[in-house]
Amino acid sequence: MSNSENKQIQALIRRFQAIYNGHPWYGTNILSSLKQITPEMSLQTLLPEKKNIAEILKHIVAWRQFLIEHLQGNSSYRIELNSELDWPSIEDLSWHDLLEQLRESQEQILQLLSGQEDTLLKKTLSNVGEPYNFRYLIEGILQHDAYHLGQINLLVSYFVAQAK
């Protein structure tokens, strides 16, 4: 595929690479942030009944999986907000398992996007409630990653300060 057929897709791939293990404009990438976290820290909460870092990471992976499913043509895949699919259980997962799921989601997204042309971005998703296109979804996943990365970094800062 010539570069002129997927310049926009390539730009989105670079953004996924930057947020995951590159140099995003807003600071630390996901992997650098997660390297600071011990398995024990990943399960700490700031307040009772609030999410811990492991739950937030699983939530990030859940929405990345939503993108993967739709890129693979599974238009029936849905996630209802505040459901088990939105906030999946981490009960049987180790911190290592969660990091591996994130890595796998990154590889799948990059692989699935690399074979696409820019025309994908205008394609409308169906069966997702209010219809929107792939550009909206992909941009949303990138923003979602950055939003929750900020939460994770805030929690890490707090837990590290408390340990001193």
Q: Could you report the per-residue pLDDT of 66-111, keeping only the tens digit for each?
A: 999 999 999 999 999 999 999 999 999 999 999 999 999 999 999 9
Which ranges in 27-94 belong to alpha helices (H)? Answer: 30-34, 39-42, 53-71
pLDDT digits (tens, 9 = 90+) for 121-143: 999 997 777 889 999 999 999 99
The CATH classification number of 3-163 equals 1.20.120.450
**Rounded mean pLDDT of the chain?**
94
Residue range 58-70: mean pLDDT, rounded: 98
Of the chain, the end-to-end C-alpha distance in Å amounts to: 54
Residue range 6-10: mean pLDDT, rounded: 96
CA 158 distance to own-chain centroid: 22
Band of pLDDT at residue 4, cut at 50, 70 and 90: confident
